[in-house]
Structure 1
Amino acid sequence: MSAARVMVVDDHPVVRDGVALLLRGEPSLAVVGSAESGRTALDRARELRPDLVLLDLRLPDMLAPEVVVGLREVCPGARVVVFTAHGDHHGIRAALDAGAHGCLVKDAAATDLVAALRAVLRGERVVDPRMVPAADAAASALERTGLTRREYEVLRLAAQGRTNPEIAEATGLTRNTVKTYLQSALHKLGARNRVEAIGKASEAGLL
């Protein structure tokens, strides 16, 4: 049986090299390439056709949920595992909602990492138990603000600098529906404009 093809996406060379070193002695996993940004990852995924992508939560050019969505488009067969130093970050929930198959903390021991990646390749969803409070905190923040998941999704895309037409294209909603969701989010957050709404959502721990 051939080794599963792994691509590592992280803007820190020491992480990319470290993962490659950790997996070097594992015959069932082979690191076939790496990328230092989201856009580079999407380009290389087309060429490399990885079975599994180990994806940093924080990249310089794109948010992890965006990259997850892009990877599912360009390489639908790949399993995506978010790899992060920030176990309490709310972006973890957004990445899982976008279709990530697992989330691991970067201090995982080599044996734990290998076991988790094998489990994901078997079709299991693996989330480091230390991250569970992050999911609860994100849900709690939504509850406090009164935002629905859809309003949050639209606001999150707006925070990335997307225009209403771009948000509509990314979500499959009409432009009028996007506008309605944004207006509703502004009202619930007590904000006068989207910039203020993004600031308040960030303060609430949602962005």
Structure 2
Amino acid sequence: MVVDDHPVVRDGVALLLRGEPSLVVVGAAESGRTALERAPGLRPDLVLLDLRLPDMLAPEVVAGLRTGCPQAKVVVFTAHGDHHGVQAALDAGAHGALLKDAAATDLVAALRRVLRGERVSDPRMVPGTAGNQAALARSGLTRREYEVLRLAAQGRTNPEIAESTGLARNTVKTYLQSALHKLGARNRVEAIGKASEAGLL
């Protein structure tokens, strides 16, 4: 089942899976509420769920699906890999998180792995950064400071960082200044360099 408010995504997934006899799209929904109404009747084995729906947050939909359709495995499907909602959805019980720019073969392989009982996350996403936990602890940076710095390293402006994290612009600025201070850096570029040397980026 594909849950996304963009028809082009719903149609695109159906088209991608057309040549895969083992993966059949049994239904779709354009909102969280509709998904929760339709899923028990459709009984999907897997739900591909957009992170940003117009009426509900993905973690709420995940929790609702776990109650109303417990056999379904849920994979968050998003264009925003660094959005804190991805981790929240995984914490709520989602079985994986994939980026919408994944190649068709990668998507199919990932969905098959989830159906086999594995948990799958695109390595480009924040939840996959467990490897640098030690470096993060050494740096003294909080998870939020790190997240803001990581987005700055991708060339994002403060307003863009605010948009993707759901933080206020002033809060982003505060986190960034705090990260600079902890890293002993005078500006963004220096901070990114130091963070990179420390194995954080």
Shorter-chain-normalised TM-score: which range? 0.5 to 0.7
Aligned to 1:88: 82
Equivalent of 1:140 in 137, 140, 143: 143
Aligned to 2:2: 8
**Structure 2 alignment gaps of length 5 or more:** 131-135, 137-141, 148-165, 173-201
What's the offset of the Cα at 1:134?
A: 7.6
Equivalent of 1:127 in 121, 131, 146: 121
Kindly provide the amino acid, as one letter, of the partner of residue 52 in structure 2.
R
Kindly provide the amino acid, as one letter, of the partner of residue 84 in structure 1.
T
Aligned to 2:99: 105
Separation in 2 of the partners of 1:120 and 1:55?
14
Correspondence list, 1:53-68, <5 A: 53-68=47-62
Kindly provide the amino acid, as one letter, of the partner of residue 202 in structure 1.
L
Sequence identity percentage: 78
Correspondence list, 1:1-207, <5 A: 7-132=1-126, 140-141=143-144, 202-203=167-168
Q: For residue 30 of structure 1, give the secondary structure of its aligned residue in structure 2.
A: coil
What's the offset of the Cα at 1:143?
A: 9.6
Contact 1:83–1:103, Cα closer than 8 Å, also in 2: yes
Contact 2:74–2:94, Cα closer than 8 Å, also in 1: yes
**Structure 1 alignment gaps of length 5 or more:** 1-6, 145-200
Separation in 1 of the partners of 2:62 and 2:78?
14
Contact 2:87–2:127, Cα closer than 8 Å, also in 1: no
Aligned to 2:153: none
Separation in 2 of the partners of 1:11 and 1:142?
32
Q: For residue 83 of structure 2, give the secondary structure of its aligned residue in structure 1.
A: coil
Note the aligned Cα RMSD (angstroms). 2.3
Separation in 2 of the partners of 1:134 and 1:86?
14
Separation in 1 of the partners of 2:31 and 2:20?
26
Contact 2:122–2:128, Cα closer than 8 Å, also in 1: no
Contact 2:33–2:56, Cα closer than 8 Å, also in 1: yes
Contact 1:88–1:131, Cα closer than 8 Å, also in 2: yes
Structure number with bigger Rg: 2
What's the offset of the Cα at 1:202?
A: 2.8
Q: TM-score, normalised by structure 1?
A: 0.64
What's the offset of the Cα at 1:46?
A: 1.2
Separation in 1 of the partners of 2:104 and 2:94?
21
Q: For residue 100 of structure 1, give the secondary structure of its aligned residue in structure 2.
A: coil
Q: For residue 125 of structure 2, give the secondary structure of its aligned residue in structure 1.
A: helix
